Chain A
Amino acid sequence: GAGVSQSPSNKVTEKGKDVELRCDPISGHTALYWYRQSLGQGLEFLIYFQGNSAPDKSGLPSDRFSAERTGGSVSTLTIQRTQQEDSAVYLCASSQNGGNYGYTFGSGTRLTVV
C-alpha cells in the first residue's frame, strides 16, 4: 500500500481481555517495528522484525506481549490479559533494509483498557 496501515484505530477493552493489533507495512519494506507511546511519554521500542531473521524482542515489557509477522509482511501485536497500564498508542513503522534512512509510521492504534 501507499503507507503503513494500522487497525483498529481505536480499541477499548476490559481489563483481563486479550487484544490483537494489526500492522500492514509499506509493500517491499523488509523492516517492521512496533513502538508504544504513553500519554506524556516518549516512544518506547517494543519489537523489530527484519526479513526472515529472528525478531529483536528486547523491548517487550512482559510475557503478556507477543508479536508475529507472517510472510514478511503483515504483523500482529497481541497483548494478553490486558492491564490498565497497557493503555497507550501503539505505533507501527516500516523501512527498507533497516532504519538508517528513517521509518514511515502508521497512524497508530489507541488502546484504552478499562
Chain B
Amino acid sequence: GESVGLHLPTLSVQEGDNSIINCAYSNSASDYFIWYKQESGKGPQFIIDIRSNMDKRQGQRVTVLLNKTVKHLSLQIAATQPGDSAVYFCAENGGGNQFYFGTGTSLTVIP
C-alpha cells in the first residue's frame, strides 16, 4: 500500500492550548485525505477531509492544511479539550477506492 506516516507518535498538550498533528504522505497523485479520531476500543471517527485542489479546510475547532509541494498534511485543533484525547490518523486515498492509514499520533490533553 501507500506510505503515509506521521512525524510524532505522541503529543501532550495543556487543556485550552492548540494542538498540531502532522502527517507525511508519499503518493503525489493522491487527491483525497481524511483525518480520523480513534478512541480506545472504538472504530475511527471522521473528523475532517480535504481534496487536493484545496490548501486549507476548516471545521468546528479543527483545521486541515495540505501542502502538496512537500506532501504534508496537518490537523490543527483549537482550544484542545480533555475529550480530544485519542489517537489521530491521517488516511490517503491511494487511487481507486483504497485508503491507506498513517502511523497515528496519540494525543493526551492535560487538564
Indicate, yes or no, whether A interacts with B.
no
